[in-house]
Structure formats: C-alpha cells, structure tokens
C-alpha cells in the first residue's frame, strides 16, 4: 500500500487536491484483493486546523507529521495562497527535513515554487503552470523549467502544470505503482477524455476501445497485454491465454477488435509509447524498452506507420495543455 500526504495551506486551489485524490480513490475499484486499499491519503497543513479555500469549501487537516510513513508520496498543492505559504518558514523547513525521505515528491500547478523554495528541485526538470514558467525559471535558474509538458517526472520528483494536469499526473502515478491497465480503467471510469489542446489525447483511442470491448470477451486479455506491454508477446501465447487454438483465437480476436492480434499488440505498444513520449522526458531508448519494442528502430517504424510521423516529431508535437 502507498501512503499519500497532501500538503495544503490557506487559500490553496481545491482542485489540486480534489482532482488527484479522486483518481487515487477511484483506483480502489480496480485493485485486486492483495491491496484492497491501494492508497491511504492524509491531508496535512502547518496549523493542522480547518483550511479555507477560495472556493468556499473548507478542508479538515492534520498537522504535518514528524515522521513519514513508509512509501509516502508527498503532494504539494498550489493556489492563491502559494506566495504566503512560500514565506512560511515552518512549512519550508518541514519540506527540507522530510521530503528527502519521501518515496516520491509531487507538486501541482504553482506548488512547484514551494518545492523550489525548499531547494528540492535543483538540477531537476520541472513543470508548472504556464503563467508561472518565466517566474519560476528566473527565480530559480538552476532548475530546468519544461514549458511544454503536462507533467514531468524526473527521478522521484513529479511536477505538473495546470490544475487538471494534476489528474494526469495522478493517473501516471497509478500506472507506475500498479499498471497501465488500471490507470486506463480509472480514466474511463471518471470519464476523463483527456482531449488535449492540439488534439493530443493521452489515453489513446485503441487502448480505450480495447478496455470497453462491448462483449467483454477480450477485455481481460487486453488488460493483461497492457500490464505486460514491456514483455515480448506472441500470438500463440495470447491464444493459449485465451484458451483457444491459434486459428480460432485469431479469427475471433480480429472480428471483435477490428485488428489482428499482432497488430493490436503493436498498437498498444505504439500508443503507450506516444503517451510516454508526450509526457515524461525519458530517452527514446528507454521508452522503446518500456513499451516492449526490441529497439528504437523498431519503435520508430511502428510509430511511423501508425501515426505518420517519427517518434521524435511525435514528442515535439506535444501541445500546451493549459
């Protein structure tokens, strides 16, 4: 089980908390019996009292803990109250002391300033709200502000752009902690179309289609494929997994999914790769490996065929989501 520690302050932006929290909560529906409660969330502030938001909703909080529970992901929110919060030495000192021991550190929106203030972002690649990109870069020249990404993961530091990007970041975390299949199911459940400006969609069409497969015959199999996308997957393998002969499996799968088995696996790989290329700044080589391509060349060919552009171009055509 993972622990989440949301760090909030007066006049923080409600959706920075509510968005990611909803994603983590929904993930419960799709985790197996081994981890019935995948995420345990705590909302904390310096005062430990009820915190007001500009949206009129008030949030109960506890004080900042003296010790982090194991596998704690810290999530720092943003909002109107961010600037005063930066000057709150108790808050910044707490971050300096405890964040280095966290399993993972996240910020939403301009919450990145708090992490920067605490010196946690030195040399890191970072995303923040587009309005704040210049300011963040000027104030902290030693960090690399990535203006184009919805969210960025650099080591165990995850930062995200605007408010809704916090939801994307949370989905990516679910994917890392559990699986792409579960993240996709959560996205579907919450009806997150994630249609981005520039018509870039993060959770891609074929994958979504595979997840809803009306008859449900291959839904489970497709989930398995997504969860094991980094592995080599052969058609005979899939057939035996589906409990059919190769011939019958091939026939049925093609009929239901509208793509032959090997073709479908390739699309899963390519769309997963696209998602990675357009968010994290991992090397082409590591993306290829992560998506089960045997080489960068292999990945390029498949992407070129499916999307009509090279992997490099695909990465560069990321639209600003805010």
Partner DNA sequence: ACATATACCCGCCATT
Partner DNA sequence: TCAATGGCGGGTATAT
234 near DNA (CB under 7 A): yes
Binding track over 1-30 against DNA, x by CB under 7 A: ------------------------------
C-beta closer to DNA: residue 11 or 263: 263
User: How far apart, in whole angstroms, are the C-alpha atoms of residue 143 and residue 136?
Assistant: 9
Binding of residue 301 to DNA (CB under 7 A): yes
Token readout for 187 is 């996205």
User: Which of 236, 240, 285, 309 touches DNA (CB under 7 A)?
Assistant: 236
| Site residue total, DNA (CB under 7 A) | 23
Q: Which of 93, 189, 305, 312 binds DNA (CB under 7 A)?
A: 305
DSSP characters for 226-243?
HHTTTS---HHHHHHHHT
**Does the footprint of DNA cover residue 216 (CB under 7 A)?**
no
Candidate residues 59, 227, 244, 256; the one interacting with DNA per rule CB under 7 A: 244
**Site membership for DNA, residue 248 (CB under 7 A):** yes
Residue count (the chain) = 322
Binding of residue 71 to DNA (CB under 7 A): no
In the complex, what is the shortest distance from the CB of residue 189 to DNA, in angstroms, rounded to a whole number?
30
Q: Where are the beta strands (DSSP E) in 57-156?
A: 58-59, 62-63, 72-76, 104-107, 125-126, 144-145, 151-154
Instruction: Report in angstroms how near the CB of residue 314 gets to DNA at its nearest.
Output: 17
Residue 313 Ramachandran class (φ > 0 left, ψ -120 to 50 alpha, else beta): alpha
**Is residue 284 close enough to count as binding DNA by CB under 7 A?**
no
Decide if 180 contacts 172 (C-beta within 8 A): no
Note whether 238 and 261 are within 8 A (CB): yes
What are 160's two structure tokens?
């995200």
**Does 294 contact DNA by CB under 7 A?**
yes
Tell whether residue 245 is a contact of DNA (CB under 7 A). yes
Stretch that binds DNA, among 4-12, 61-69, 75-83, 291-299 (CB under 7 A): 291-299
Tell me: does residue 235 bind DNA (CB under 7 A). Answer: yes
Answer yes or no: are the C-beta atoms of 17 and 9 closer than 8 Å. Answer: no
Q: Which residue, 297, 279, 235, is CA-closest to 289?
A: 297
> Cα(131)–Cα(175) distance, rounded to whole angstroms?
28
Q: Using CB under 7 A, which of 46, 302, 303, 314 touches DNA?
A: 302
Strands (DSSP E) along 30-70, which ranges?
39-45, 51-52, 58-59, 62-63
Alpha-carbon distances of 125 from 108, 139, 140, 152, 155, rounded to whole Å: 14, 15, 12, 7, 9
Write the binding mask 259 to 278 for DNA: x where contact by CB under 7 A, - elsewhere. Answer: -xxxx---------------
What six digits make up the tokens of 303? 């992407």
Query: With binding defined as CB under 7 A, does residue 322 bind DNA?
Result: no
The stretch near DNA (CB under 7 A) out of 8-16, 44-52, 78-86, 292-300 is: 292-300
Stretch that binds DNA, among 37-45, 59-67, 218-226, 300-308 (CB under 7 A): 300-308
| Nearer residue to DNA within complex by CB, 1 or 306 | 306
Among 123, 199, 247, 308, binds DNA (CB under 7 A): 247
Task: Point out which residues bind DNA (CB under 7 A).
Answer: 234-236, 244-248, 250-252, 254, 260-263, 294-295, 297-298, 301-302, 305
């Amino acid at each position: 089980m993972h622990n989440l520690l949301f760090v909030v302050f007066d006049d923080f932006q409600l959706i920075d908390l509510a968005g990611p929290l909803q994603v983590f909560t929904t993930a419960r529906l799709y985790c197996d019996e081994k981890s019935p409660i995948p995420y345990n969330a705590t909302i904390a502030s310096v005062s430990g009292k009820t915190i007001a938001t500009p949206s009129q909703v008030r949030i109960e909080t506890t004080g900042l803990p003296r010790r982090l529970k194991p596998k704690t992901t810290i999530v720092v929110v943003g909002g109107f109250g961010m600037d005063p919060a930066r000057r709150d030495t108790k808050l910044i000192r707490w971050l300096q002391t405890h964040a280095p021991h966290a399993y993972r550190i996240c910020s939403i929106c301009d919450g990145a300033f708090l992490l920067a203030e605490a010196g946690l972002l030195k040399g890191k690649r970072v995303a923040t709200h587009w309005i704040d990109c210049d300011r963040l870069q000027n104030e902290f020249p030693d960090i690399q502000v990535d203006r184009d990404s919805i969210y960025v993961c650099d080591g165990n530091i995850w930062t995200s752009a605007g408010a809704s990007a916090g939801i994307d970041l949370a989905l990516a975390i679910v994917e890392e902690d559990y699986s792409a299949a579960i993240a996709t199911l959560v996205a579907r459940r919450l009806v997150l179309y994630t249609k981005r400006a520039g018509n870039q969609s993060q959770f891609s069409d074929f994958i979504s289609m595979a997840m809803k497969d009306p008859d449900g015959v291959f839904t489970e199999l497709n989930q398995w494929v997504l969860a094991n996308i980094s592995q080599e997957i052969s058609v005979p393998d899939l057939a035996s997994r589906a409990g059919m002969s190769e011939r019958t499996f091939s026939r049925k799968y093609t009929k239901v999914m509208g793509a032959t088995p090997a073709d479908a696996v390739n699309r899963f790989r390519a769309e997963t790769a696209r998602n990675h290329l357009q968010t994290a700044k991992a090397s082409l080589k590591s993306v290829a490996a992560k998506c089960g391509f045997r080489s960068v060349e292999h990945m390029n060919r498949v992407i070129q065929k499916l999307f009509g552009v090279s992997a490099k171009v695909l990465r560069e055509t990321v639209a600003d989501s805010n």
